[in-house]
Structure 1
Amino acid sequence: MDKPYVKQNTENGIATIEFFHPAHNSLPGDLLAKLAATITDAGNNPEVKVIVLKSGGDRTFCAGASFSELININDAQTGKIFFSGFANVINAMRTCPKFIIGRIQGKTVGGGVGVASATDYCMATKFAAIKLSELNVGIGPFVVGPAVERKLGLSAMSQIAIDANTFYDAQWAKQKGLYTEVYDSVEALDEAVQNFAENLCTYNPEAMKEMKKVFWSGTENWDTLLAERAVISGRLVLSDFTKETLKRFK
């Protein structure tokens, strides 16, 4: 398993969407675009009652944006397009009329924390620590910030955004509201996710659709907001500070 992919499998009303990249499930632009489109398609499929979002492998859920793409940004427009990738995924999840269950099996960083935060119900293992590392390279979690703040609250989001070097463990993330439950193993997580998804399939789809609208009320401006945030990140990535920092990483 060494080729990146986004794939979907639908069975008994449950659409399982899985993404993978050999670089710790980081997400380059093409994978982000495919992920957003796959989520939208599943949301529009009348045979789908609930969506499970997961990543391949047993370790990292998502390492965030593709570092190889990040270091090659040389103009503001390219930067905006790059950072719009996660914005498009978050907005696809936000506007999807089906509940999305997050299955977080391991560490998640940067944009990955935004993806986890944009799920409607998120379950994890004890290995699923989180970190917002963007400030380390001179940027900031501008695009994913609204999703993270909505789930964790401004105080907790600010804490992990400023303390950009630290992984916060899964229990901390549960206490702050990101995870609904934390399990000791991937096997226990998968069993719980499957049982929960099957239970949701017994509910009235129209009721769940209306509930999702209520849960996400107040985010109607996110198409514009996240695009504006992508412009900020696209400008900052061109700064001398960030360029020098990325050279050291490279």
Structure 2
Amino acid sequence: MNLHLITSNADFFLRAARLSIFIFVMSALCSLAISLSFGSVATARNPVLRIVARSVIEFFRDIPQIVSVFFVFFGAPAFGLQLDPVEATIVSLSLWGGANGAEIVRGGINAVPKHQFESTRALGLSTLDTFVFVIAPQAIRPIIPAYAGLCTILLQSTSLGALIGATELLKSAQIVIERAAYFQGGMPGMTVYTFILCVYFLASTAMTRGTKRLEKIFGVSTRRKPASPSTQSSVPRE
């Protein structure tokens, strides 16, 4: 492979990688906010709120990501919004990721035994205190592995921005290939796309390993917590 093509465009690839990371971070943060809000509402006792939340979640989950990207980019002007390719990519990935993340959060909350909710009501805890101090610590363990997989998909999906003109990693590869083919001739696609493949592979692998470490940390803390004397002594007794 002609590695000179990669090294000579290192700065260009680095800028594209930074943009890909920016798109991923913003999409992940927005998805997390949507996931927590809609996932919690989807488990509410109010049937109206629960049905509305579930309907919104299912709607955005059932839309393919590529359709969502095109819809947001070309449909936003109809609602008076002018989004550039990067903004449209972030919005579309956030909606898709938030909907799938909300379903993960809903499943994690529903995995908590029902008697935990009944016990907190008997102790007079508020809804917020119940969620923060009782439900969330137990729900986070089943949520982490599934949400980590979702974040990996979001990282890989930043490449969809190339379809609407965002100069992220995949788009930068296309630009380099077109330049090289025009000025130097030949077919440099194999070299450049192999490089991009390796970058995505390494990034996804690093995220997977980091998530496993995070999962172990939360697993240890939640296993030790019930055995803590301070925790047991803090429970009110009748």
Higher normalized strand content (fraction of residues) = 1
Pick the structure with more helix per residue.
2
Structure-1-length-normalised TM-score? 0.29
| CA radius of gyration, larger in | 2
**What TM-score, normalized by structure 2, do the two folds share?**
0.30
